[in-house]
Structures are given as structure tokens and as C-alpha cells.
Amino acid sequence: MKIGTMTFFGSHNYGSVLQAYALQQFIVDLFQQHRIPCEYRIIGFRSAQQQALYLPPKADSPRNVVKRLMYLPYKRKIDRQHDKFERFIAERLFVTEPFSDPSALPERAADFDVLLSGSDQVWNVRAKDFSYAYLFDGCGGKKISYAASLGPLPIDRSRFDAERYAGLLRAFASVSVRETQSREALGAFLDEERIALMPDPVFLLSAEEWRKLESEPYPDRYILFYCLEPSKAQIRLAKRAAKQLGLPVVITGYRNKNDWMNPFVKLYDAGPYDFLSLIDRAALVLTSSFHGTAFSLIFGKPFLAIDGMADARIRDLLTRFGAERNGIAADAREISVPPVMKDAETVICGERAKARAYLEEAFGLREPDRKQKEASI
């Protein structure tokens, strides 16, 4: 069976590339267990909009000139980080020849028996790099989705062609999403009973499987502060945590001016292998990221999810694991870290079993089991 997957594999975002790797490995292993030959490929679509998100700011306006000047002190580190992401993609992901024009997708997709969309925010119409290509616009054949997400905010119908979106969705033979909110949003276009809730792919691999990819550990004890776009309030929270625990704060990405004006240890050359090591070895993970939260659970780390209960994606995750207490407001004055969850692995194993049953049915490896439609992450 030839399987072609559309996902955010090319985003220089730790969660994006790692979930792409996890889904690939899980599906390839699943077919091996069934003793059925499988050719799995990630379709190499990287839109111009997506590539532009991870390039240095252009000096095309006074504001961007300032941004570029702020970027220059870290240019070497950021360039190394860029190379590390590209190396991970080349070494670990089974990607077809790259292309950026979505109109080329139907021809590329015709090579596959089954087309799979997901995971990550591939169906989030608010995303700057959203494309109808992630719904296989213009493609024939069997289509399924795995844990696709519509993002943290309610769907905004003014941002897309709802009729076109609905028509493409209805062409999917099997649909699964990652969050309750995404399922409810798609209920406007599909019967909700058709929409399964599935765990993010990063939960499909064990902690030990992830540890095989880790780089050398950072030498000292530290707090890992992982926010994609850190706010001033989040920065202040990290400083309070550092003072309370007496530990340095490590950050891994340069995204805005708050990444420049802070006293933290700036590992701006950290790639995907480094990210896994940094989470696994952290004394505390302080994050506003879905995947930062997910990997904290996988590795059994002390963690706090900043404004986690206000984010639909992270709220689903914390609720499913009974970890609501790990949510913390960015403006919290007191920092209390809950004990490490002892039964997280039990929950993860249950979610992994649901994912296996869903994918086996979607790929025709087993008879349909309607009981697998129960709620999940």
C-alpha cells in the first residue's frame, strides 16, 4: 500500500517535525506488524508562505529594519538552528521531492493508494500557511485524516470559503481530529458521529523511543522556558520561577523582541534532537506550547502550562490526563508545581491503543469497530 501524507513537516517548529516523524514511524510499524508491504511518504509540499515564516526579517520597512538589527547578534546561532531542522527533515522523514505550488498536488497525490492529512494545525484556516492542499483539493482516491487540528481559537468563517471547505471534508472516508473544539467546529460540516478524537502523534511513540533521538544533555540543572511568542507577562513568570527555584532559565527560539531583551540562557541553535534532550533533562518545563506540554507528559516531567486552561488544545490535554492543576496563569504571583503524574503512562497507552484501532480500520487492516468512536485527547 502506498500512503501519502500531507502535514506541516517543513515548519521549523519542534512539535511540527516531531509529530510528522512519530506518525510516520507508527504507521510503518503498524503495517510491519500486519505483514503488509507499505510505502509511506510525506508529500513534500512547502508553501512559499510557510517558508517565509522561518526566514530572517527583510529590511523592507522601518519596523523590519529594527527587527533585523535585533536579529543580527544571534544570526550564527539561528542559522545553525535552521540547518539542524533541515538535517532532521533529511535524516528522519520520508519526504517526496519538494514543491511549493499547490496546483501541483493532484499529480503528486495520484501516486498513492491512500492520502492522509494530519496531524498538527493543518486545517486551521487562521494559520498564515493554511492551504486547501491539506484537504487534498483537486485530488481523487481514498482520503483519511489523523488528529487534524483547527487550532486554539474558534473557527472564523470570514477567513475561508465554507462551502469549499465542507465539500473537501465530505470526500474523506475517515475523519479524526485532535481536540474537542475541532470536532465541534467540524460538526457544522459533518455528522459529529463520523469524527473521531485521536491523540497527537507524539504520544504514539514511547519515552524510550524518543530518547534514542536525544542529543547530548545540557550540563547544568535548569528551567526550560518554551513559548513560541513569549509575552512580557510570560517572561516575568519565568523570572519568578527562576528566583523561587534558584535555577537558570533556558530558551530555545528567537521569535520576537521579548526573546532579545531577557536575561535567560539563549540556546538559539537548538534543533529537534536538542529540544527532546532539553525537555527530558529539565528540572521544570514552563511552557505555553501544546507540544511542550505533550512531551512533558511523555517524559514524566514537572511542568506548568502557561494559560493552559484558556487554550482549547492544551485544556483538552490537561483534562484528559487529570492535570488541570498544571495550568498556571501568566500573571500568577505564586508558583506551585504539582507532583509528577504517576499514571500518565497508563493514559498514554490507552490513547495509543485507540489510535492503532482507528488507523487499522481507516487503512482496511481490520473490520470496523464502532466502539472506537469514544472520546479521546
Clarify whether residues 53 and 119 are in a common domain. Answer: yes
Clarify whether residues 81 and 191 are in a common domain. Answer: yes
Clarify whether residues 14 and 75 are in a common domain. Answer: yes
Alpha-carbon gap, residue 110 to 114, rounded angstroms: 9
Task: Find all residues with CB under 8 Å of 350, minimum gap 6, and list them.
Answer: none
Task: Report CA Rg, the chain.
Answer: 20
Any idea what DSSP says for residue 148?
A: B
Dihedral (Cα; 65, 69, 74, 77), 10-degree rounding: 40
Clarify whether residues 30 and 178 are in a common domain. Answer: yes
C-alpha cell at 128: 498564515
63 vs 20: which has the higher pLDDT: 20
Residue range of the domain that includes 24: 2-205+348-373
Question: What does the pLDDT average to over 359-377?
Answer: 69
Alpha-carbon gap, residue 50 to 130, rounded angstroms: 9
Dihedral (Cα; 368, 370, 375, 377), 10-degree rounding: 0
Residue 58's CATH number: 3.40.50
Indicate the number of domains in the chain. 2
Beta bridge pairs of residue 120: 148
298, 291 contact by CB (below 8 A): no
Q: Which residues of 325-350 are buried (b: 16+ CB within 10 A; e: fewer)?
A: ebbbebebeebebeeebeebeebbee
Pick the range with the lowest mean pLDDT from 15-24, 40-49, 365-374.
Answer: 365-374
Clarify whether residues 126 and 187 are in a common domain. Answer: yes
* 371 has pLDDT over 70: no
pLDDT band at 57 (very low <50, low <70, confident <90, very high): low
Clarify whether residues 169 and 35 are in a common domain. Answer: yes
Question: What does the pLDDT average to over 85-99?
Answer: 97
Clarify whether residues 131 and 184 are in a common domain. Answer: yes
**DSSP state letters, 75-110:** HHHHHHHHHHHHHHHHHH--B-S-B--GGGHHHHHT
Task: Find all residues with CB under 8 Å of 88, minimum gap 6, and list them.
Answer: 17, 21, 271, 272, 273
pTM: 0.93
* 223 has pLDDT over 60: yes
- Nearest partner of 23 among 5, 38, 1, judged by Cα: 5
The strand order across the sheet containing 39-42 reads 39-42, 2-6, 114-117, 142-145
Clarify whether residues 33 and 173 are in a common domain. Answer: yes
Clarify whether residues 329 and 365 are in a common domain. Answer: no
Clarify whether residues 89 and 155 are in a common domain. Answer: yes
Clarify whether residues 269 and 365 are in a common domain. Answer: no
Residue 303's CATH number: 3.40.50.2000
Alpha-carbon gap, residue 291 to 13, rounded angstroms: 10
Task: Find all residues with CB under 8 Å of 295, minimum gap 6, and list them.
Answer: 202, 210, 276, 279, 280, 285, 301
pLDDT at 59 (0 to 100): 62
pLDDT tens digits, 309-348: 999 999 999 999 999 999 999 999 889 999 888 889 999 9
* 302 has pLDDT over 70: yes
* 254 has pLDDT over 90: no
The enclosing H or E element of 71 equals helix 62-71
Clarify whether residues 168 and 280 are in a common domain. Answer: no
305, 314 contact by CB (below 8 A): yes
